[in-house]
Amino acid sequence: MFVCPITKHKVSPNIINGNLISYISDSGTEYKVKEGIPNFYVSDSKNSWSEYYAVNAENYDNYNHTTFELQGYDEYTVRQQVVNLLELKNEDKILELGCGTGRDSILIAKEAQKVNAKLHCIDASFPMISKCREKLNGMSLDYIIYAVANGENIPFEDNYFDHFFSFVAFSPVSNKEKCLREIARVVKPGGKVILVSEGLLPSLKKQDFGKKIINNCNLYNDNPPLDILPVEARNVTLKWILNGIIYILQFDINIGEIQGNFDQIIGGKRGGSINSRYYGNLVGVSKETKELFEKVMAKNEMSKYDWLNDVIIKQALIDIQK
């Protein structure tokens, strides 16, 4: 299931004396395995968040609940409501990006147990994902896969997952557009994406409430990435929670661009189809010629498309035969 995060080709396990030491790509790149967790992290000099989380992993659980309490919500009630959006089915495979210390992972794992689903956790920080594994050690899932990796370079094969989940791990991603493309690559057509991230409801940003939130943490100045969604995104919904400081972006994955019925003839005086109107643009004409055309059309029952099409074809055939 693992692939090289860069080439997307399968990696080979490097086993010595019965122990998995690393994975090796076809290009010879070696990805070490530490304490049973492979490290596929691709270094990004622009992103220091992995270092931040590595340093703060030990104490992360001591203060993470504060965000919820400041807004008057119970943390795990909110997290469970979001996890429920996955609507897991039998033997689904879920990818959680930015699992951190497992505050959502344990909730997903409990739901996964009910339907024999499989959970795959990735995080950019080894200390954080180690904490996650500690929390989930008692879970009786057939398997839970862990890997150190970043969202821009996901080390799993194409169309592998039924669902993608991430709770407040998207804001620190350096190249968000690339991350979204990676999500679309690894999730099967028909699969569901649940992306939860910091980002104030736009109407709140000019209010004192919003200014105070952003002053405390600039991540809340982010906007939902609607303008860079992959072409595979369908059924997109967006809502805000926690008094409008965090958004839930949800969409399904489909294949390629939307294909409308653009050859269907559209009624009315203009006529033609969406495709003919788009692809059939010709060179311009003089003002007098356009006025003459409009006079003819005012007396003609044909659509503009049909009349022009007919005139051009007839004259073209005459000229071709000369």
pLDDT band at 258 (very low <50, low <70, confident <90, very high): confident
pLDDT tens, residue by residue, 141-161: 677 999 999 999 999 999 999
pLDDT band at 54 (very low <50, low <70, confident <90, very high): low
pLDDT for the residue numbered 22: 98
pLDDT at residue 256 tops 90: no
pLDDT band at 66 (very low <50, low <70, confident <90, very high): very high
pLDDT band at 205 (very low <50, low <70, confident <90, very high): very high
pLDDT for the residue numbered 143: 76
pLDDT for the residue numbered 49: 62
Q: What is the 3-state secondary structure (H, E, C) of 186-198?
A: HEEEEEEEEEEEE
pLDDT tens, residue by residue, 69-93: 999 999 999 999 999 999 999 999 9
Check: CB of residue 230 under 8 Å from CB of residue 183.
yes
**What CATH number does domain 35-253 carry, 3.40.50.150, 3.40.50.720, 3.40.50.1220, 3.40.50.12780?**
3.40.50.150
pLDDT for the residue numbered 257: 82
pLDDT for the residue numbered 217: 93
Check: CB of residue 108 under 8 Å from CB of residue 137.
no
pLDDT at residue 55 tops 70: no
**pLDDT above 70: percentage of residues in the chain:** 95
Whole-angstrom distance, CA of residue 309 vs CA of residue 303? 10
pLDDT tens, residue by residue, 191-202: 999 999 999 999
Q: What angle do CA 219, 201, 168 make, to 5 degrees?
A: 40
pLDDT at residue 39 tops 70: yes
Both structure tokens of 137 = 């050690």
pLDDT at residue 45 tops 60: no
Check: CB of residue 220 under 8 Å from CB of residue 245.
yes
- The answer to whether the Cα torsion of 155, 157, 160, 164 is positive or negative is positive
pLDDT at residue 282 tops 90: no
pLDDT for the residue numbered 63: 84
pLDDT band at 51 (very low <50, low <70, confident <90, very high): low
What's the average model confidence in pLDDT over 242-248?
98
Q: What is the mean pLDDT of the chain?
A: 93
pLDDT tens, residue by residue, 6-33: 999 999 999 999 999 999 999 999 999 9
Both structure tokens of 224 = 């939902």
Residue type, 25: S
- The answer to whether the Cα torsion of 76, 171, 72, 52 is positive or negative is positive
Residue 56 vs residue 216, higher pLDDT = 216
pLDDT for the residue numbered 145: 94
pLDDT band at 139 (very low <50, low <70, confident <90, very high): confident
- pTM given for the model: 0.88
pLDDT at residue 61 tops 90: no
